[in-house]
Amino acid sequence: MSLSFAELRAHRVWKVMLLGILTALLTWLFFKADEISSKAHDNYTRTLRQFQRYDEQVASKVVASHAGLVQNYDGMAFYLARLREAGQHLKSLPPWLSEAQRQPIENALQALIRAEEAKALDIDRFQRANAVLRNSKLYLPRAADALLAAEEWPNAKAFGNFVRHLVGISMTRNPDESELAQLRRELQDLRTAGGPPALQGILVHAEILLEQSPVVATLVDHIVKAPTAELHDKLMRSYQEAYRTAMAAASYHRTLLYAIAMMLLGYALYAVFRIERDRRALRLAHADLATRYEAQRRAEGELRLYGTVFTHATEGMLITDASSRIVAVNPAFCAITGYAPEDVIGKTPALLNSGRQGEDFYRNMWQSLLQIGQWQGEIWNRRKDGGIYPEWLSIAAVPDEPGESGHFIGVFTDISERKQSEARIHHLAHHDALTGLPNRLLLEDRIEQGMLKSKRMHRQMGIIFIDLDRFKNINDTLGHAVGDELLIQAAQRGLHVLRETDTLCRQGGDEFVVVLPELDNGQDAAHVCSKLLSAFCQPYLLAGHELTVSGSAGIALYPEDGETVSELLRKADAAMYRAKEEGRNTFCFFSAEISTATLGDLLLENDLFGALDRQELLMYYQPKVDAGSGEIVGAEALIRWQHHERGLVPPEQFIRLAEENGLINAIGEWAIRNVCAQQRAWLDAGLLVVPVAVNISALQFAQQDLPNMLAHVLADYGLPPQLIELELTESLLMRNSARAALVLETLRRMHVQVALDDFGTGYSSLSYLRQFPLHALKIDRSFVSQIDENGEPVRLASAIIAMAHELDLVVIAEGVENEVQANYLVAHGCDHFQGYLYGRPQAVEEFGKLLANRQLGSAA
């Protein structure tokens, strides 16, 4: 049954009106349900609690002030101010309270504020009265004690008893009236009895204590018993009752809001159901049309895609018929071959034949096409201009409807660049990028081939390992570009010296390896090595500089020195390092001694890496004595290594290894920390310690921030800097004299003394002695050991002593081993001695005994 237009309009108007009424009702319920602000409630409740806490704090401050626990009224003033602020905040009631709920709360609040104001007046009276009372309490005992100590009079004892009784009574909160009356009578008796002139002034303060103590106690009692706590509880109850009533109303409004919302939700679900039913019908109506349109669109898209692929593909494409006649080519085909479409349409692909593949190749290709319908592989074809190029060709047979082959599609790519890249990669994989020489990979192959040839021909093969001497200095000073050019020229010189059957390889950095196959004897390798070193040593013209760079070489022979590539290279390398040790610019054959020494250093270096963790490093101490008295004035700390297998290893065997592998900084810092820790232990044991000198390595001095590290260590152990000395060598200071001067100046400001070790073996220059702030100078043991009745060394030692004294330096002689040396040095003014005559390097326990004996001798 259809409705008329007027009925439909009336129906819509009714729906709109109903919707408006429900919307207004929901809005009203929403605001009523959310009228109570939890934040406002929490703030008001927190203010009520703060008011209560401030009231309790005021009362406690009054009691503490009366008891003498607090000497000022700042706390009372602070909490009274907070009470007034809280009272003002409490007057701002939460807005959701109704008038009926506000009235009892405001009445309770007014009563509480009036009670607090009355309490504040009592506190003010208490402060004034208590201030007077406190002054008399402080003055009376002191004045009474001073009067009793100054003079005697007949009632002095009674006066003393009165004061003690009065002070005790004033300390109580509620003094007894009978005791107060008794004290008033005693006060009157003391006034009438007479006494010293100062007595009457003191009794005035006693009268103040008698009068004010009850007043103050009464005020404290009123303040503590004020009704503010009860009134606050009444206000809290009134507010909580109003809050519960408002929350109940809000809960009722929320329930109504939820019920109406659920009704609207049900209506909305019904509307959604109707809309979904209509939408499903519409979707079914359009489904068939959409399916047809999509099928047509896909077909058109596929046709466009196939055309785009064929036209824009970078691979060349051609299509032939069953007779192998070309029917279509794409632009990429024309670009690669140089043929235009009209040049090839109707012809066979045979016009591209380069002639490199024979008939068997094409026969196999067609056999594969006819049997499995496809073929792919590498083929060489010819362009229109006659150029031959490689291509990767894929051919697929496209059958016609009856199943017979109808067309063939060929797709190919020009792989000329890939072929060239593969050739370059193969060359780079086996040759050094800088010099073009064979690299390590190709070197191993050449050595293996040489060993096979030598074994077959029963002849020797030589391996020469060459390293350019001090090449790093060129890189550091002139730059890596100059260093690279030097390597290129060195490689060219080496190639000119060698035979075509020899191989020169670059091992890496400035290292070259030469393979000499089919040698008649080992001297042939020595002859070639001499020619190579001579060629390398010729001057190089680099960046406007004429440089001469020598080389060191090691020779290993096959099969005498090894039968594997790695063994021959390792032994040639070891021989090269022996050549460097023998002065550079020379060569050495490998020998068993070199292998043993190298292996020993390697094992020792490997063990050194864990020496600190295993706590194998020890510190020995050699005493320094005064040249005149022979008393101990210092010591030198000497590091030792207690190896777990080799026993005690001296520093000359492992310090060099530590400098080469980078452990010297850690060992140097350990030495300083160990000495500082031991000095601290001796100090804590009550020993009379002496300054201890620690040797500093050149690498440690150059790489570490020595002053900063030393300052941290001294601070860690709380050690005076005067108990630590540093010993530096001449060559160390002269490596970078400007930086050395700055470091030594920093150490001087830290009050750390520095001695110059091994003087006379280096520069021995007065100029740098004046430049550096040194404390002492040590004459090298090589001069002291040669002192006898006469001779040049004697005159040189005395000259060193005289020169050092002119520069205000303390002179220490090392290696003093007999009385002749000691007497000579004393006669020429030497200050301190160090040597076996006065003590060998000793363990910590033994040197501690020396310090203990020194302390006993000093005490005696």
> Tell me, what's the pLDDT at 284?
82
> Tell me, what's the pLDDT at 762?
53
- Euclidean distance between CA atoms 180 and 574, whole angstroms: 110
**Block residue for tokens 């018993």:** 225
**Whether residue 615 has pLDDT greater than 80:** no
Structure tokens given for 132: 């007077």
> Tell me, what's the pLDDT at 7?
67
The arithmetic mean of pLDDT across residues 719-727, rounded, is: 91
The more confident residue out of 121 and 140 is 121
Q: Are 579 and 552 in contact (CB under 8 A)?
A: yes
> Tell me, what's the pLDDT at 600?
47
**Whether residue 270 has pLDDT greater than 90:** no
**Whether residue 5 has pLDDT greater than 70:** no
Whether omega before 94 lies within 30 degrees of 0, making that bond cis, reads no
Task: Count the alpha carbons within 13 Å of 801 in the hemisphere toward its beta carbon.
Answer: 22
Q: How far is CA 344 from the centre of its chain?
A: 71
Q: What is the length of the chain?
A: 860
DSSP code of 351? G
Structure tokens given for 200: 């009457």
Query: To 5 degrees, how large is the angle CA 811–CA 813–CA 814?
Result: 140
> Tell me, what's the pLDDT at 593?
56
Q: From start to end of 717-804, where are the E strands?
A: 724-729, 753-759, 776-779
Select from 162, 215, 209, 152 the least CA-distant residue to 187: 162
Q: Are 838 and 818 in contact (CB under 8 A)?
A: no
Whether omega before 227 lies within 30 degrees of 0, making that bond cis, reads no
**What is the average pLDDT score of the chain?**
80
User: φ, ψ for residue 816 (rounded to 5)?
Assistant: -75, 115
**Whether residue 439 has pLDDT greater than 50:** yes
Select from 263, 339, 240, 178 the least CA-distant residue to 41: 240
**Whether residue 106 has pLDDT greater than 90:** no
Q: How far is CA 38 from the centre of its chain?
A: 48
**Whether residue 601 has pLDDT greater than 60:** no
Q: Which residues contact 525 (CB under 8 A, 6 or more apart)?
A: 460, 462, 464, 516, 519, 555, 557
Select from 579, 609, 575, 580 the least CA-distant residue to 594: 575
pLDDT in tens, 448-494: 888 888 888 888 899 899 988 888 778 777 788 888 888 888 888 88
pLDDT in tens, 37-60: 678 778 888 888 888 888 888 888
Q: What is the pTM of this model?
A: 0.40
Task: Indicate the SS3 state at residue 506.
Answer: strand
Select from 314, 339, 308, 324 the least CA-distant residue to 409: 324
pLDDT in tens, 658-687: 666 667 778 888 889 999 999 899 999 888
CA gyration radius, the chain: 55
**Block residue for tokens 């103590």:** 213
- Euclidean distance between CA atoms 618 and 846, whole angstroms: 13
* Strand 776-779, strand 810-814: pairing: parallel
pLDDT in tens, 767-807: 567 778 888 988 888 788 878 755 444 567 788 888 888 88
The more confident residue out of 464 and 232 is 464
User: φ, ψ for residue 322 (rounded to 5)?
Assistant: -65, -25
Percent share of the chain, pLDDT over 90: 8
> Tell me, what's the pLDDT at 65?
78
The strand pairing partners of 391, in sequence order, are 379, 414
> Tell me, what's the pLDDT at 682?
92
Distances (CA, A) of 527 to 411, 530, 532, 536, 585: 61, 5, 9, 14, 15
**Whether residue 598 has pLDDT greater than 50:** no
Structure tokens given for 135: 């002054």
State the alpha helices, DSSP H only, in 313-458.
331-337, 341-344, 359-372, 416-430, 440-457
Q: Which residues contact 261 (CB under 8 A, 6 or more apart)?
A: 26
**C-alpha dihedral (803, 809, 814, 818), degrees to nearest 10:** 70
> Tell me, what's the pLDDT at 1?
45
**C-alpha dihedral (588, 590, 595, 597), degrees to nearest 10:** -20
- Euclidean distance between CA atoms 763 and 771, whole angstroms: 13
**Whether residue 438 has pLDDT greater than 80:** yes
pLDDT in tens, 551-570: 889 999 888 888 888 888 88
**Whether residue 623 has pLDDT greater than 90:** yes
Task: Indicate the SS3 state at residue 276.
Answer: helix
- Euclidean distance between CA atoms 6 and 461, whole angstroms: 119
pLDDT in tens, 183-206: 777 777 777 777 777 777 777 777
pLDDT in tens, 799-832: 888 888 888 899 999 989 888 888 888 888 999 9
pLDDT in tens, 134-158: 777 777 777 777 777 777 777 777 7
- Euclidean distance between CA atoms 705 and 531, whole angstroms: 47
User: φ, ψ for residue 184 (rounded to 5)?
Assistant: -65, -40
Q: How far is CA 790 from the centre of its chain?
A: 62
pLDDT bracket for residue 159 (50, 70, 90) = confident
The arithmetic mean of pLDDT across residues 105-112, rounded, is: 84
Select from 684, 464, 677, 490 the least CA-distant residue to 576: 464
Amino acid at 652: E
pLDDT in tens, 371-389: 887 888 888 888 888 888 8
> Tell me, what's the pLDDT at 691?
94
